[in-house]
Amino acid sequence: MLAYIVRRIALMIPTIIGIMLVSFIVVQFAPGGPVERVIAQLTGEGSDATARISGQGGDFGASRQGAPSGDPVSSKYRGAQGLNPDFIRELEKQFGFDKPAYERFGLMLWNYIRFDFGRSYFRDISVIDLIKEKMPVSISLGLWMMLLSYSISIPLGIAKAVRDGSRFDIWTSGIIIIGYAVPSFLFAILLIVLFAGGSFFSLFPLRGLTSDNWDQLSLGGKIVDYFWHLVLPIVSMALGAFATTALLTKNSFLDEIRKQYVVTARMKGLSERRVLYGHVFRNAMLIVIAGFPGAFVSAFFTSSLLIETIFSLDGLGLLGFESVLNRDYPVVFATLYIFSLLGLVVGLISDLTYTWVDPRIDFETREV
């Protein structure tokens, strides 16, 4: 097992490098960039995202003068005509674009190995501090959504498999299908209308992770307030994952229940509970565990974007989306690196969990 773990860890290195390289190449050909964002802000065509860079890169007001009409530096960027070429070069140096692409990529990898992610282009804060600032929201959403989803869907899937074809199975399947078909953001809007002061009841808060008087609450009051704010977003996020995991668990258990070894165990006089949880469970749960890494990573980033927006929760999903729009490349690449690394590590943990669920699995003889 130790040799397998070492091989998997060694394989993570070229995988991470490949992910970062492909993303870096795509960014090089993508239109726009931090330099263009600043130029657009200066010419009155930009958004408020680049307004935070005011005061950097010299005197903006004086930078328009003295630019030759055919200067190659200014012609590289749309809207740069009339700006001082020295100012453009200063912007390139500030953002690191004065170096060749291969040198920038190598420097980025060297820094990322040491978990040095630099500073945000348009926020006066280091990237790692920015991620730490947003992490509590994403951890809260991802962790509790996963716990709620798996704690309900796995027992429900087992119950549906045992009672396959019964009224319970039919009714719950209908509810699950509806839950799977409804997007989480639409369900979130429905919950807001019903329970957050939309048109009917005002039982839950509409925004934020805590109340304004958080600091004045007791420990018990803080815990209640924290979960009170999480109810609607967690329920919204868990709906789709709950449906998928429940059906996956049911089908996996049905496949195992129909196999010959289950018939043999029953003929030996074992109780149904012993057959189900002593023999079927560890085999049927393998396919559920296999989907855990992807669900874990997506719960912390992809799935939470719209939910964070709807419930005004400032987490990693919203941070990554805004960073892409604003061409804040240090934040974009740092979040990509962290989540890719996290996904690989969770994948390894998932494989090791296989051996805990079913000790017959031997990774030592498996080719990576």
Residues constituting the chain: 368
Question: Taking a C-beta distance cutoff of 8 angstroms, is the pair 154, 245 a contact?
Answer: yes
CA dihedral 296, 297, 299, 302 (to 10 degrees): -160
CATH 3.40.640.10 for domain 129-365: no
Between vectors from CA 320 to CA 314 and to CA 323, what angle results, nearest 5°?
105
State the pTM of this model: 0.70
pLDDT tens, residue by residue, 265-318: 888 888 878 888 877 887 777 777 766 666 666 666 555 778 888 888 888 878
First-to-last C-alpha distance (Å) of the chain = 12
Q: Give me the residue label for tokens 């369900």.
A: 187
SS3 of 326, please? coil
Residue 161 burial (CB < 10 Å; 0-12/13-18/19+)? buried
Q: At 21, is the pLDDT very low, low, confident or very high (cuts 50, 70, 90)?
A: very high
> Is the pLDDT confidence value at 57 over 50?
no
For 134-162, how does the pLDDT look when each residue is reduced to its tens digit (9 = 90+)? 888 888 887 888 888 888 888 898 888 88
Kindly report, as residue ranges, where domains of CATH 1.10.3720.10 are found in the chain.
Answer: 129-365
For residues 183 and 71, give the distance between their C-alpha atoms in angstroms, rounded to a whole number: 51
Highest mean pLDDT among 4-13, 53-62, 195-204: 4-13
Neighbour count for residue 83 (Cβ, 10 Å):
24
In this structure, the number of other CB atoms found within 10 A of the CB of residue 224 comes to 12
Would you call 69 helix, strand, or coil by DSSP?
Answer: coil
- Check residues 364 and 25 and name the one with the higher pLDDT: 25
- Long-range CB pairs of 125-131 (<8 Å, 24+ gap) are 127/330, 127/331, 127/334, 128/334, 130/319, 130/331, 131/316, 131/319, 131/331, 131/334, 131/335, 131/338
The answer to whether 246 touches 156, Cβ cutoff 8 Å, is yes
Helices assigned H by DSSP within the chain: 2-29, 34-42, 72-75, 85-95, 101-113, 127-162, 167-181, 184-195, 219-257, 260-267, 272-275, 281-290, 292-300, 304-310, 316-325, 329-357
- Residue 65 CA: distances (Å) to CA of 73, 79, 85, 86: 14, 14, 9, 10
Helix pair angle (329-357, 101-113), 10° resolution? 50
